[in-house]
Amino acid sequence: MEKYVHEPSTRAQERGRRRRHLRHGVVLVLVTVLLAVAAFSGWMVLSRQWVIPGLDPEPRPVVDASCPQGKFSYAENNTVTVNVYNATTKAGLASTVASQLRDRGFKIGAVGNRRLGYNAEYGVVISGGFGRSEALSVQRNAAGLLYVTDTRRTDQTVDVVLGTRFKSLTDLSKVRKRNGTLNCLPEPASSATPTHTTTTSPTPMPTSPSSSKK
């Protein structure tokens, strides 16, 4: 009698274990697939092969569009923190440039995608008023990038936004480490000065004296 009760119970437990193992296996497969899809989607977005509207951070508004006057010192590379953004469809461009800048001693902050927002085919270097020496150092290492002032920024970090014509950093042997001026984004064209026309009153015609009747 005990054997009869024990065997069905054992079989039921075995079936229960198999069902649990099956459920766990299905859940594990689903989780693995979801992680793989998420990783693939993230890579496609970061490499800009997929562009999701509204996902890229908007460029900060630039209040001061004028070019800073005077010369700035070249900040040592290891004192400069750079955020590198890819504004093109070239996969991995920001990561590649960030790695190259790191090899030159720059500190790398954020690396990702961003809309360019400026008329600059090679890209732009952005900093606040306190980061212009740092921006000069970055610009000397990445010739072709134009400088833009972000007046809302109060730190010394620098943003690099890479454009479609950017290829590579300036050859290290050609990097000038002297003081110098920033190569700026062209200022917006000012409205044409209206031409003032001077109007003159017509010159009165001379009148001949009237002859008296005789």
Rounded to 5, what percent of the chain is helix, strand, coil? Answer: 35, 15, 50
Structure-model confidence comparison of residues 206 and 122, the more confident one: 122
- Which uninterrupted H or E stretch holds 161? strand 158-162
Return the sign of the alpha-carbon dihedral for residues 164, 65, 139, 156. negative
**Parallel, antiparallel or unpaired: strands 107-113 and 158-162:** unpaired
Structure-model confidence comparison of residues 109 and 206, the more confident one: 109
Mean pLDDT of 132-158: 95
Taking 90 as the threshold, does the pLDDT of residue 55 lie above it?
no
b/e 11-30 (16+ beta carbons within 10 angstroms → b):
eeeeeeeeeeeeeeeeeeee
Helix, strand, or coil here: 194? coil
Amino acid present at 10: T
| Res 197: pLDDT | 41
pTM here?
0.61
- Pairwise CA distance, residues 177 & 168, whole Å: 19
- Which uninterrupted H or E stretch holds 4? helix 2-46
Q: What is the per-residue pLDDT across 81-106, written as a single tens digit (0 to 9) for each?
A: 999 999 999 999 999 999 999 999 99
Mean pLDDT of 121-129: 95
DSSP string, 34-93: HHHHHHHHHHHHHTTSS--TTTSPPPPPPS--SPPPS-B----GGG-EEEEEE-SS-TTH
| Res 195: pLDDT | 42
- Pairwise CA distance, residues 70 & 173, whole Å: 25
Residues 141, 117 contacting (CB under 8 angstroms): no
Taking 70 as the threshold, does the pLDDT of residue 62 lie above it?
no
| Res 188: pLDDT | 66
Mean pLDDT of 54-72: 67
Q: What is the per-residue pLDDT across 22-50, written as a single tens digit (0 to 9) for each?
A: 888 888 888 888 888 887 776 655 544 45
- Pairwise CA distance, residues 133 & 175, whole Å: 15
